[in-house]
Amino acid sequence: MALVQKKRLGDILLMAEKITPSQLQSALKTQKILGKKLGEVLIESGIVSEEDIIDAIEAQTGIKKIDLNNINFDKKAIKIVPQNLCNKYNLIAFGFEEDKVLVAMSDPLNIFAIDDISISTGLAVKTFIAPKKDIDKFVKINYSSEGVNKAAEELSKETLEAKTISVDVEEVDDVKNAPVVKMIEYLFKNSIEMRASDIHIEPFEKEIRIRYRIDGELTTINTLGIESLAPLITRIKILANLNIAEKRIPQDGRIITKIGNTDVDLRVSILPTVNGEKVVIRILNRDNYKVGKEYLGLTKENLKKLNNIISNPHGIVLVTGPTGSGKSTTLYTVLSELNSSNVNIITVEDPVEYTLDGINQVNVNTKAGLTFASGLRSILRQDPDIIMIGEIRDEETAQIAIKAAITGHLVLSTLHTNDAPSSITRLVDMGVEPYLVASSVVGVIAQRLVRKICQYCKEEYEASEYERKTLTGSSNGTLKLYKGKGCGHCNGTGYIGRIGVYEIMEVTREHRDIINKTRDSDILKDISIKHGMTTLEDECKKLVLNGTTTMQELATITLLGDI
């Protein structure tokens, strides 16, 4: 350690020939003026990169660099090093070696940081060097997760010690250090750090299970004793302005808050079950919401088809797919594309997920009698050019939407169908006359979301005979495919983020003739393919072949069986 203490960063970089003496002198002068670290000054001025500094320190001191993305963090190491030290010195502990704690630092030459860790833990310190951004990332993830665990322990302990569970509403709402308050605070923070779209709080006979939905998959985060359910639900109800005394009927609410530097809109749904009230919180991260066709993942061909469809002055454009397939994102993107000062756009939604400037958005309120159908009737008297209906759920809404399209309005809406051609059949099944469907529908967009392979742990493998036959139609030859092996970036899943898969059906004169004669979706599908439509399955196959996603994800949108 003495060797490390005697060497300074400037000397190390000079010895490694990463900088010249004149560059060092100039940087030292700037450092005195700005009060920053020498490394920061050198990186910001473009003289060296962070990777240059890391390589120089490793070569000159023997301190090894480490990739935190490939590390399984030891929770005990996280517990014994306080977060305030991690934030102060930009470091994170990740494990143990004999009587030493292993610590990754962006500045392993900082002897004051090493001394503070040693005093705090009572252990000797073995240092490693890692990029600042990686340390920041894993401090956020691990300490927000640790915060959830600690708050959960405190909450369980508090409720177990109480002879009876009684929640003082004012006390819970006012005392910021109450275990239940900290539990909810850390739960929200941790869900943002882990890129979750939903939080599930599920009561069972003896425990409460907390799960996050990340990239479409549910992952268990924690379990609590069932005795913690009452204070947990009460706190959530307070935040969402719900009735804390009502436990027999479902309730829906909303929490608008700021978590760290992130603006979030939390939609709360509470459902009574046999074991208590279950809570699902949908996280609408306003900072992550991007409006623009470039974010949808459309191919050039599909982008051209979409532009053709939405350029119609009137008619119905349908977006179809199961819940969670990205239909709302597509609709908002199209609305943003159509939004201008010379058109009047009005929406009826349940609920309004994101507010868009220049667009009049209406929330459905069934208790007050404001349904999709009644709202649609009202907005037709508001001189709209473009109408968006959150979902066509019944014949009444479908009939009004059809009439609006025929009378010169462009109508956008969603349906729950498996593919694009089936949407025509669904409208007819709802009671709409085939000739009205034929004359009003101008295009249907069916979509799914598939997970993208993590680029940090992506690896190549030889496709099996079954995979070759599925993707290419031939089991002969060789084929290279890709998968993620799991790393710190993707929380060990092998995937980061999702991408849309689309099937876009432009309604032509040939389609209209068939709709008037029959409602057979297979015939409509064949006609659409003849006119250039690519099916969901074929689109996803392309993504598998180009290394964007995996065969497992292809299986989620097709009937391939076990992969």
Q: What is the 3-state secondary structure (H, E, C) of 338-382?
A: HCCCCCCEEEEECCCCCCCCCCEEEECEHHHCECHHHHHHHHHHH
| Residue 372 CA, distance from chain mean position | 28
Between residues 157 and 528, the one the model is more confident about: 528
For residue 168, the model assigns a pLDDT of 43
pLDDT band of 507, cuts 50, 70, 90: very high
Are 331 and 319 in contact, with CB atoms under 8 Å apart?
A: yes
For residue 546, the model assigns a pLDDT of 93
Neighbours of 338 (CB within 10 A): 17
Q: Determine the straight-line distance between the first and last CA of the chain, rounded to whole angstroms.
A: 52
- Return the top range by mean pLDDT from 159-163, 198-202, 283-287, 330-334: 198-202
Residue 193: is its pLDDT beyond 50? yes
Rounded CA-CA distance 24/15 in Å is 12
List Cβ neighbours of 45 (8 Å cut-off, separation of 6 or more).
27, 30
| Residue 195 CA, distance from chain mean position | 5
The structure tokens listed for 47 are: 């003289």
Kindly state whether residues 260 and 228 are assigned to the same domain: yes
Section 358-370 average pLDDT? 86
Nearest alpha carbon to residue 144 among 233, 215, 67, 212: 212
* Residue 317 falls inside a structural domain: yes
- The fraction of the chain above a pLDDT of 70, given in percent, is 93
Kindly state whether residues 142 and 120 are assigned to the same domain: no
Kindly state whether residues 276 and 302 are assigned to the same domain: no
Query: Tokens 């900290």 sit at which residue?
Result: 182
Between 37-51, 280-294, 304-318, 420-434, the lowest mean confidence (pLDDT) is in 280-294
Residue 294: is its pLDDT beyond 60? yes
Kindly state whether residues 149 and 234 are assigned to the same domain: yes
Kindly state whether residues 145 and 281 are assigned to the same domain: yes
For residue 171, the model assigns a pLDDT of 42
Kindly state whether residues 126 and 31 are assigned to the same domain: yes
Rounded CA-CA distance 455/489 in Å is 9
Q: What angle is formed at CA 440 by the lines to CA 406 and CA 380, rounded to 5 degrees? A: 40
Domain end (from 285, 316, 332): 285
For residue 6, the model assigns a pLDDT of 54
* Residue 155 falls inside a structural domain: yes
Kindly state whether residues 109 and 199 are assigned to the same domain: no
Kindly state whether residues 19 and 104 are assigned to the same domain: yes
Section 236-250 average pLDDT? 93
Kindly state whether residues 372 and 446 are assigned to the same domain: yes
For residue 415, the model assigns a pLDDT of 92
For residue 159, the model assigns a pLDDT of 63
pLDDT band of 166, cuts 50, 70, 90: very low
Tens of pLDDT, residue by residue over 71-127, are: 878 888 988 998 889 999 999 999 999 889 999 999 888 889 999 999 999 999 999
The structure tokens listed for 503 are: 């099937």
* Residue 468 falls inside a structural domain: no
Section 25-34 average pLDDT? 83
Kindly state whether residues 231 and 378 are assigned to the same domain: no
Torsion angle of C-alpha atoms 43, 47, 51, 52, degrees rounded to 10 = -140
* Residue 384 falls inside a structural domain: yes
Q: Which residues pair with 480 in a beta bridge?
A: 462
Q: Which domain holds residue 330?
A: 293-451+499-535
Nearest alpha carbon to residue 486 among 70, 116, 63, 52: 70
Between 29-43, 106-120, 307-321, 433-447, the lowest mean confidence (pLDDT) is in 29-43
Q: Which residues pair with 410 in a beta bridge?
A: 315, 386
Tens of pLDDT, residue by residue over 205-214, are: 989 999 999 9
For residue 562, the model assigns a pLDDT of 42
Are 314 and 405 in contact, with CB atoms under 8 Å apart?
A: yes
Rounded CA-CA distance 302/522 in Å is 21
For residue 475, the model assigns a pLDDT of 79
The structure tokens listed for 208 are: 């409460």
* Residue 75 falls inside a structural domain: no
Domain with residue 432: its CATH number is 3.40.50.300
* Residue 42 falls inside a structural domain: yes
Domain with residue 229: its CATH number is 3.30.450.90
- Longest C-alpha distance within the chain, in Å? 88
Residue 158: is its pLDDT beyond 70? no
Residue 482: is its pLDDT beyond 90? yes
Residue 160: is its pLDDT beyond 60? no
What one-character DSSP code corresponds to residue 533?
P
* DSSP string for 420-433: STHHHHHHHHTT--
Q: What is the mean pLDDT of the chain?
A: 86
* DSSP string for 61-116: H-PPB--GGG----HHHHHHS-HHHHHHHTEEEEEEETTEEEEEES-TT-HHHHHH
* Residue 552 falls inside a structural domain: no
Domain end (from 75, 110, 130): 130
For residue 364, the model assigns a pLDDT of 85
* Residue 2 falls inside a structural domain: no
Kindly state whether residues 319 and 393 are assigned to the same domain: yes
Residue 353: is its pLDDT beyond 90? no
Are 106 and 90 in contact, with CB atoms under 8 Å apart?
A: yes
Section 527-551 average pLDDT? 94
Domain end (from 285, 312, 332): 285
For residue 177, the model assigns a pLDDT of 53
For residue 163, the model assigns a pLDDT of 40
Kindly state whether residues 96 and 55 are assigned to the same domain: yes
Number of domains the chain contains: 3
Residue 22: is its pLDDT beyond 60? yes
Rounded CA-CA distance 279/251 in Å is 10
Three-state helix/strand/coil letters over 120-169: HHCCEEEEEECCHHHHHHHHHHHHHHHHHHHHHHHHHHHHHHCCCCCCCH
Nearest alpha carbon to residue 472 among 372, 416, 541, 393: 541
